[in-house]
Structure 1
Amino acid sequence: MSEEAGRAFWNFSLEHYGKPGLPPAVIGLQNRLGADVNLLLYGCWAAAQGRSLGETDIAQADATIQLWREQVVEPLREVRNRLKPGVAPVSAEASMTLRKRVLDAEIAGEELAQHALAALLPAAKAAGNPAAAARRHVEIYLARLAKPLGPEDQAAVETLIRGCFG
């Protein structure tokens, strides 16, 4: 898959992440279930591209970005979150510039993860409705996390699908 596909996935994510309710929905799935927002969006983007992802494809996608997520993105997120209230002797206000730089690095890390995921997009075409295919992709991914989905999680999935497919 080309660099163009990576940019297309990133642009899809930026376009849809700004939809009302979508950021808190996917961040909620991240916080409650340990979901990777990039993998949630990958399932939607693949469906929007008319592609079908099976359990093996999703497992491969997760494995592909696992080390990057664990060793780069998550540590940057942890530092950013630690800076929010300030870290003595530096106040939250004084650390705001650094927090913004860490956020920029975290976002750059997310973009690189998405480029790696875009390279995995299978050639197999999805049958039927893209929104239904995206829901199936997301459900397969969330099942991998082996945590029960509560009503709030199910509502978050619906918000994600609605945000990406109307």
Structure 2
Amino acid sequence: MEEKSLQQFALDLYSQEGIAPLCLAWQDQHSIDVTVLLMAAWAGTRGYRLSPADIAASSDAVARWRSEIIAPLRAVRRRLKEPFGQVKPEERTQLREKVSAAELDSEFIALRILGDFGTAESTEIAPETAVPENVSAVFAHFSDDAPQSAGDVELIARTALRVGNNPL
């Protein structure tokens, strides 16, 4: 049985009910890097507990890409939601779709880079333990705040385990 790649896992997890809004809220309110979060959940489903050093190293590996490529594309995509001078709505929509596709491609590149961090020097434990611990550790890395509720971590963990236990 072939395991899911990080990219396929990320697409599958992100498409599940409640996950995208939660990830976007964490991204906007707590500066969580969703690609690092998805990598940590993926690693957890494979039984790997990531240390704070693993999470810091993975974040560092994509930090420049995130700040110079992903974040500016995201800002442009979001800006294109609003009227802009004499630009017609349909022109904005068409351009926004292209920018959105470029943003997604840039996130896939980040996931490719992060794929190597999902197992490196990690402790192997039960996925049911690893996923919530990894998700909480990513949150702690990026934010001084605690997650809004334990239910948020539980939702991601439960969904990641379900998605991750469906190999290709």
TM-score, normalising length from structure 2?
0.87
3-state DSSP of counterpart to 1:120:
helix
1:21 equivalent in alignment to 2:18: yes
Q: Counterpart amino acid of 2:153?
A: V
| Pairing 1:32-111 to 2, within 5 Å after superposition | 32-111=29-108
Residues 25 and 159 of structure 1 are in contact (CA less than 8 Å); yes or no, is this contact kept in structure 2?
no
Distance 2:141 2:59 in 1: 10
Q: Counterpart amino acid of 2:97?
A: K
Residues 55 and 138 of structure 2 are in contact (CA less than 8 Å); yes or no, is this contact kept in structure 1?
yes
Distance 1:56 1:41 in 2: 17
Structure 1 residue ranges (4+ consecutive) displaced by more than 3 angstroms after TM superposition:
none
Residues 139 and 147 of structure 2 are in contact (CA less than 8 Å); yes or no, is this contact kept in structure 1?
no
Find the counterpart in structure 1 of residue 145 from structure 2: 148
Residues 61 and 117 of structure 1 are in contact (CA less than 8 Å); yes or no, is this contact kept in structure 2?
yes
1:135 equivalent in alignment to 2:139: no
Identity within the alignment, %: 28
Residues 86 and 93 of structure 1 are in contact (CA less than 8 Å); yes or no, is this contact kept in structure 2?
no
TM-score, normalising length from structure 1?
0.88
The total of aligned residue pairs comes to 159
3-state DSSP of counterpart to 1:88:
coil
1:160 equivalent in alignment to 2:121: no
Task: Return 67-76 or 156-165, whichever deviates more.
Answer: 156-165
Q: Deviations over 1:115-146 (max 9, x none)?
A: 00002231544212x13211111111211224
Per-residue deviation at 1:48? 1.5
Task: Return 11-20 or 73-82, whichever deviates more.
Answer: 11-20
Q: Deviations over 1:88-140 (max 9, x none)?
A: 11133331010000000000000000000002231544212x13211111111
Q: Deviations over 1:5-49 (max 9, x none)?
A: 9x8100011111111111001111101101011111111100122
Distance 2:15 2:147 in 1: 24
Per-residue deviation at 1:150? 5.1
Distance 2:90 2:151 in 1: 35
Where does structure 1 lack aligned partners over 5 or more consecutive residues?
none
Where does structure 2 lack aligned partners over 5 or more consecutive residues?
163-168
